[in-house]
């Protein structure tokens, strides 16, 4: 028996490592859905919006956000809760609206779009908001954005090129122009099923009430 | 305490220490494979290290090599406990290679990236501890299993 014991111990540890690694992987893998092209909100490359959640959800929550704006950062945390709470009943759309008063907001939007060109917009969106307090105060913000891209697993050369490229710039600008045409001047500005959210309702209870009302309205039709 | 018993204790401690390194490396590998960034929360240095080009070799996270290395150490230490003479040689060679790799990664963090990641420092400490245990091994041959 003693002869086989080391084999048994090593096998048990190998299985435990593989098992715990697999469980961790399942828990941490990104839950971003890939949205078919025909489900995109806008048309054309520069108009395509970033959508997370069920493409056929009855409620669409559209946000015009600035990655450096602190209320947007706080809203991003709440948004995560909302997505879990409403699951397949709500889809989230993000549009860039970098405010000129924020030094790195435009570059952050470009970083998110550059990540989006590799299919990882939401991962970059999440890390930019989560680490907002850190990169907002950093002079060499580009270096940090590149390290975020590296951790997400992006092709760094492509990411660097895309951040300086026309496509990302055009996407950010298209979102901004769209926002300006709607009269947006603050962030986050929210729309629920294309209806602007009253600023007085821009709080957790107000947003939930509006989503519930939109859901009720949809179920009646 | 006999020399043989002392060696056995060192092998057991090495096996236990390697499990801590294995857990750390497994966590980092999963983090790299999923693109999860939560573990670095609030630490730009951690992002700089784990998001750098030095964190991958041919697209493979270096932490994955760490998993392999720590698992090998655990395996060889376990077999050494049970008296497999060759396991001791492999254990020393593996830990020696890990020690050199750790020196390289510390150099990268200190002089090339100017940033340290806590998970990497934990792994470095684990490897140094393993190297210390190997150095403490009394010379001579282990009793072989027939």
pLDDT per position as a tens digit, A156-186:
999 999 999 999 999 999 999 999 999 998 9
Identity of the residue in B32, B53, B75 whose CB atom sits nearest the CB atom of A10: B75
pTM given for the model: 0.78
pLDDT higher than 90, residue A18: yes
Beta bridge mates, A43: none
Interchain proximity B19–A127, CB inside 8 Å = no
Average pLDDT over residues B69-85: 94
Report the pLDDT value the prediction gives residue B141, as an integer from 0 to 100: 67
Strand partners, A189: A64
Measure Cα distances from A135 to A104, A141, A163, B113 in Å. Answer: 8, 6, 17, 17
Q: In what order do the strands lie in the sheet with A50-52?
A: A50-52, A90-96, A59-65, A189-192, A195-196
Query: B interface mutation test: which of A147, A156, A157, A158 has the most B CBs within 10 A?
Result: A147
Say whether pLDDT at A39 is over 70.
no
A54-95, pLDDT tens digit by residue? 988 999 999 999 999 999 999 999 999 999 999 899 999 999
Binning pLDDT at 50, 70 and 90, where does residue A31 land? low
Highest mean pLDDT among A104-118, A134-148, A202-216: A104-118
Minimal CA–CA distance to B82: which of B7, B24, B3, B1?
B7
B135: Cβ–Cβ under 8 A, 6 or more apart, which residues? none
């Amino acid at each position: 028996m003693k002869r086989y014991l080391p084999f048994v111990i090593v096998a048990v540890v190998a299985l435990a490592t593989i098992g715990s690694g697999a469980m961790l992987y399942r828990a941490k893998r990104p839950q971003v859905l890939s949205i078919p092209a025909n489900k995109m909100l806008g048309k054309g490359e520069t108009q395509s919006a970033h959508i997370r959640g069920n493409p056929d959800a009855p409620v669409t929550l559209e946000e015009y956000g600035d990655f450096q704006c602190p209320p947007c950062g706080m809203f991003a945390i709440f948004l995560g809760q909302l997505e879990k709470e409403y699951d397949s009943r709500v889809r989230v759309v993000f549009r860039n609206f970098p405010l000129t008063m924020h030094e790195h907001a435009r570059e952050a939007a470009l970083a998110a779009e550059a990540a989006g060109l590799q299919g990882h917009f939401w991962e970059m969106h999440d890390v930019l908001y989560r680490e907002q307090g850190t990169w907002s105060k950093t002079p060499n913000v580009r270096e940090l954005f590149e390290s975020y891209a590296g951790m997400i697993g992006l092709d760094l050369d492509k990411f660097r090129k895309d951040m300086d490229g026309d496509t990302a710039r055009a996407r950010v600008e298209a979102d901004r122009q769209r926002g300006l045409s709607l009269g947006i001047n603050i962030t986050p500005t929210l729309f629920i099923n294309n209806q602007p959210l009253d600023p007085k309702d821009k709080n957790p209870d107000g947003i939930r009430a509006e989503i519930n009302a939109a859901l009720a309205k949809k179920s009646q039709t | 305490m006999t020399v043989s018993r002392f060696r056995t204790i060192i092998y057991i401690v090495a096996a236990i220490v390697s499990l801590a390194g294995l857990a750390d490396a497994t966590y980092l590998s999963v983090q790299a494979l999923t693109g999860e960034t939560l573990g670095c929360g609030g630490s730009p240095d951690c992002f700089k290290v784990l998001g750098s080009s030095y964190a991958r070799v041919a697209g493979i996270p270096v932490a994955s090599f760490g998993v392999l290395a720590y698992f090998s150490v655990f395996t060889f230490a376990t077999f050494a406990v049970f008296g497999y003479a060759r396991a001791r040689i492999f254990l020393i060679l593996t830990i020696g290679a890990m020690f050199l790799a750790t020196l390289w990664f510390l150099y990268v963090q200190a002089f090339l990236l100017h940033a340290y990641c806590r998970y990497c420092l934990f792994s470095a400490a684990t490897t140094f501890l393993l190297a210390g245990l190997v150095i403490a091994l009394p010379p001579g041959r282990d009793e072989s299993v027939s």
